[in-house]
Chain A
Amino acid sequence: MNNVVPLTRLMQGNEAIAEGALAAGARFFAGYPITPSTEIAEILAEKLPAVGGKFIQMEDEIASMAAIIGASLAGLKSITATSGPGFSLKQENLGFAAITEVPCVVVNVQRYGPSTGIPTASAQGDIMQARWGTHGDHPAIALSPASVQEAFSLTVQAFNLAERFRTPVILLADEVIGHMRERFVMPDASDINVIDRKKPPAGLTRYYPYKPDEDGVPPMANFCEGYRYHVTGLVHDESGGPTTKADQAERLIKRLNDKIMDHLDEITMTESLMTEDAEIIIVACGAVSRSARRAVKQARKEGIKAGLFRLISVWPFPDKEIKALSRQARSIIVPEMNLGQLIGEVERVVRSETKVSGINRVTGEMITPDEILNAIKSEI
C-alpha cells in the first residue's frame, strides 16, 4: 500500500510536480538529471511503472524533448523536467512541438545562470527564455507556481492547456519552490479536472491533421489509431505535407499564435491581493511573490495602500490586466531574481503612464519581504 499518498502531508515542490503529472494522466517521462529538478525524474522513475507508464533516462535533454514528443504522438501524455542548461538544449525540439502541435509539458526548475552558474541557487533568469527560447515566431504558455500546492495544481493545468490547445506548455518553477517542503493537501481525484486532447471523429474518408476547428485547434489523431498522416517541422498545409507557399506559411504561423491569443480567458491566471484600492502595486511571480505577499500585508498594517498582483500564468503576458492596474496605481514595483525581465513586459504595457521600478537580485538568494517593504515605503 505504499503508493497511497496521505491526504495532508509535508511535500516537496518537485514531488508535487511529479504527483500533479500523475494526477493529470501523464504516462511518459523522458529526462536527463539536473539540479534542482532531478527529484521529479527520480519520483517518476519509481511511480510511472506502477501505473503502467514509462520512464526513460535519455542520453541528453535534446533526446528527452524528442522522446516526449514521440510518446505524445503515440498517445501518452508526456512530460520532461530540467533546469537552465537543459532547458536551453530543449529549445529546438520545443519549437518542433509548437509547429507540429504536439501536446507536452516541459518543467524548468530555474536555477542561477547563465551556464552552470550556481546549480543549487534559485533564480528567475529564464522568464524570457521560456517565451523566446526557440527560434521563430511561436506561441508560448508558461505557468509559474508559488507554493507546493500550486506546483501540483499548475502541473495538472499545464497538461490540460497542452491537451486543449495542442501545444507545449512550460511549467516555469524555481529552485525555491522545487526544493521547499510545506503542507500539501492531496485533492480528491474527482475534484481534479483533467482535459484530454480532442480527437477527430472515426470513419472520416480523409483526416486533415492540421485543419483547425473553429477554435483554431485541429483535432488530433494519435499515431497508429487508424488515421495515417505526416508530421513535419517544415511549414505544412492542412494535410501535414510540406509547403513553401507564402499564404499557407502565414496562415499556419498566425493560427499557431492565434489559437493561444484568442483564448486568453481560458489561459490567463492571476491573483490579486488587496489591489482594489492600492496605490502601490507589486507585480511578481513564483517564489518572489511569497516575499511580496508578506511585504504587502505589513505595509497595509502600517496604513500604506499597497497590493500584490501575482502572475500565475507568466506567458502569454497578461497585458489587459496589467494595463488596468496601471490606470489605478501610482507606482508599480517589479521584484524579480534577475536583472530585469518581467519588468520589461510591464513597461511595454504600461508605457510611461505609471512609474515602474524594479527590485533585482542576482545573488542566488531570495528577495526578502523587508527589501520589498522598503521599496514600497520609498514610493510613499
Chain B
Amino acid sequence: MNNMPSNAEKYLRMEKMPHIWCPGCGNGIVLSALVRAFHKLNYDQDQTVIVSGIGCSSRASGYLDFNTLHSTHGRALAFATGIKLARPEVNVFVLMGDGDASSIGGNHLIHAARRNIDLTVVIFNNSIYGMTGGQYSPLTPQDNRATTAPYGTFERPFDLVELVKAAGATYIARGTTYHSAMLTKLIITGASHKGFSVIEAVTACPVSYGRRNKMGGGYDMLMWQKEHGVPIEKSRYLKPEEMKGKFLIGELHKSEAPEYTEVYQQLIDRVRGPIKGE
C-alpha cells in the first residue's frame, strides 16, 4: 500500500488480516485512501463510527479500528441516521457499494441527502455487484456484460453525482483508485464539510466485472481510470466531444444548507425553552 502513513496500523484491525478481497481488487486502495484521510483528519477513533452495508466493499468496516457497524444490504444510511441523530457530536462515515447505495439503498440515499444530515459517505463504484458474482447494478454502463445481462445491459445507468445533487447533498465529489491522492483529499474535504457529503470512488472489480468486459486485470483497469477520469479543472479546456465516454473527477458540488441534527437540536431547545409561545 503506497503512501500509507507509517502508523497506518493505528487505524486498522491488523488481527483481521488478510482481507477477503481478490488480487487486483480496488477496494484495498479505497481503504488506504480512507486510512490516509483518517490520519490527516486526526479524529478520535473512539468518537468515530463507520457504518457499511453489504457487499465486498462494505467489508471494509471490519478492517477499520473504529466503532464499526456492518449493517444490512442497502440500509447503512438508515442505521447511520439513527446513530448520528442519537449522538450528533460523533463523526459518522458510511461505506457502500454502488449496488448497495443506489439500488436497494437508493431510497435511503436520496432521503439522507434531502435531510442534509452530517454523514460522510464513500461509495465504492465498481460498476457491478461484486460479492454476488457480477450481476448488473444501476451504475453498470450500457452495453456491458454481467451475469444477469448475458446479451449486454440495456437499462440506463444512474449518474450518482447528479442523483444526489438533485436530492440535496451539499458536498459531492468523485475520485478514482488511480487518482488515490486526490481521493484521499476529497474524503478529507467531505468529512470536514458540515452536511451530507458523498464521495464516489471509482474502483476496479477485475474478477466480477473487468474480466467479463475485456478490461484486463487490476492494473489495466487502473489505467482505464487514468484515461477516463478527467479532473474538473481540466475539463473546462476540453470540447464536449473530447469528454465523450469520460467522467469528471474532483470536487463537483458544494453548497450550504441547514444540517439535520443541528436543526433538531434547535427544535429541542425551542420546545424545552422556559417561555412558551414566543
Q: Which residues of A contact B (CB under 8 A)?
A: 27-28, 30, 49-50, 52, 54, 56, 58-60, 62-64, 66-76, 78, 92-93, 96, 223-226, 228-234, 241-242
Contacts of B66 in A (CB 8 A): 228
How far, in angstroms, from A223 to B83 measured CA to CA in the complex?
9
Cβ-defined partner of B82 (8 Å) among A62, A74, A92, A232: A74
B27, CB-defined interface residue at 8 Å: no
B78 engages A63 (CB within 8 Å):
yes
B46 engages A224 (CB within 8 Å):
yes
Q: How far is the CB of B71 from chain A (nearest CB, A)?
A: 7
B70 engages A52 (CB within 8 Å):
no
B67 engages A58 (CB within 8 Å):
no
Q: How far is the CB of A58 from chain B (nearest CB, A)?
A: 7
A56 engages B87 (CB within 8 Å):
no
A223 engages B111 (CB within 8 Å):
no
- Which chain B residue shows the least CB distance to A242? B62
Chain B's interface: helix, strand, loop or mixed, by majority?
Answer: helix
Contacts of B107 in A (CB 8 A): 59-60, 63
B71 engages A66 (CB within 8 Å):
yes
- Which chain A residue shows the least CB distance to B65? A228
B272 engages A49 (CB within 8 Å):
yes
B75 engages A74 (CB within 8 Å):
no
B72 engages A70 (CB within 8 Å):
no
- Some 14 contacts from A to B, beta carbons below 8 A apart, are A50-B272, A54-B85, A54-B86, A56-B82, A56-B85, A63-B75, A67-B82, A70-B51, A75-B86, A96-B71, A226-B46, A230-B13, A230-B62, A230-B70
Contacts of B108 in A (CB 8 A): 59, 63
A71 engages B72 (CB within 8 Å):
no
Q: How far is the CB of B19 from chain A (nearest CB, A)?
A: 12
A224 engages B80 (CB within 8 Å):
no
Q: A224-B67, A230-B70 are in contact. Are A69 and B271 (CB under 8 A)?
A: no
Contacts of A96 in B (CB 8 A): 71-72
B81 engages A54 (CB within 8 Å):
no
Q: How far is the CB of A210 from chain B (nearest CB, A)?
A: 14
Name which of B51, B61, B70, B79 has the most chain A CB atoms within 10 A of its CB: B79
Q: How far is the CB of A83 from chain B (nearest CB, A)?
A: 20
- Which chain B residue shows the least CB distance to A231? B69
- Which chain B residue shows the least CB distance to A50? B271
Contacts of A71 in B (CB 8 A): 82-83, 85-86
- Which chain A residue shows the least CB distance to B109? A59
Contact-residue size bin, chain B (C-beta under 8 Å from the other chain): 35 or more
B45 engages A66 (CB within 8 Å):
no
Q: A223-B49, A231-B68 are in contact. Are A59 and B111 (CB under 8 A)?
A: yes
- Which chain A residue shows the least CB distance to B61? A230
How far, in angstroms, from A175 to B166 measured CA to CA in the complex?
40
Query: Could you mark each residue 85-116 of chain B with 1 if its beta carbon is under 8 Å from any beta carbon of chain A, else 0?
Result: 11100100000000000000001100100000
- Which chain B residue shows the least CB distance to A74? B86
Query: With A62-B75, A75-B87, A223-B83 given, can you name 6 additional A-B contacts, CB distance below 8 Å?
Result: A58-B111, A59-B78, A63-B108, A64-B78, A74-B49, A228-B67
How far, in angstroms, from A231 to B61 measured CA to CA in the complex?
9
Contacts of B271 in A (CB 8 A): 49-50
Query: Could you mark each residue 13-39 of chain B with 1 if its beta carbon is under 8 Å from any beta carbon of chain A, else 0?
Result: 100100000000000000000000000
B264, CB-defined interface residue at 8 Å: yes
A233 engages B82 (CB within 8 Å):
no
Cβ-defined partner of A233 (8 Å) among B51, B72, B111: B72
B142, CB-defined interface residue at 8 Å: no
| Residues in B150-168 with C-beta less than 8 Å from chain A | none
A223 engages B82 (CB within 8 Å):
no
A67 engages B79 (CB within 8 Å):
yes
A229 engages B62 (CB within 8 Å):
no
Q: How far is the CB of A80 from chain B (nearest CB, A)?
A: 10
Q: How far is the CB of A310 from chain B (nearest CB, A)?
A: 35
| Residues in B51-75 with C-beta less than 8 Å from chain A | 51, 54, 61-62, 65-72, 75
| Residues in B137-190 with C-beta less than 8 Å from chain A | none
How far, in angstroms, from A232 to B62 measured CA to CA in the complex?
8
Q: How far is the CB of A136 from chain B (nearest CB, A)?
A: 13
Contacts of B69 in A (CB 8 A): 70, 73, 223, 230-232
- Which chain A residue shows the least CB distance to B107? A59
How far, in angstroms, from A346 to B167 measured CA to CA in the complex?
52
- Which chain B residue shows the least CB distance to A96? B72
Cβ-defined partner of B87 (8 Å) among A68, A69, A223, A231: A223
| Residues in B174-208 with C-beta less than 8 Å from chain A | none
B213, CB-defined interface residue at 8 Å: no
Q: How far is the CB of B93 from chain A (nearest CB, A)?
A: 13
How far, in angstroms, from A60 to B110 measured CA to CA in the complex?
13
Cβ-defined partner of A93 (8 Å) among B45, B51, B67, B72: B72
Q: How far is the CB of A311 from chain B (nearest CB, A)?
A: 31
Q: A54-B264, A224-B87 are in contact. Are A234 and B70 (CB under 8 A)?
A: yes
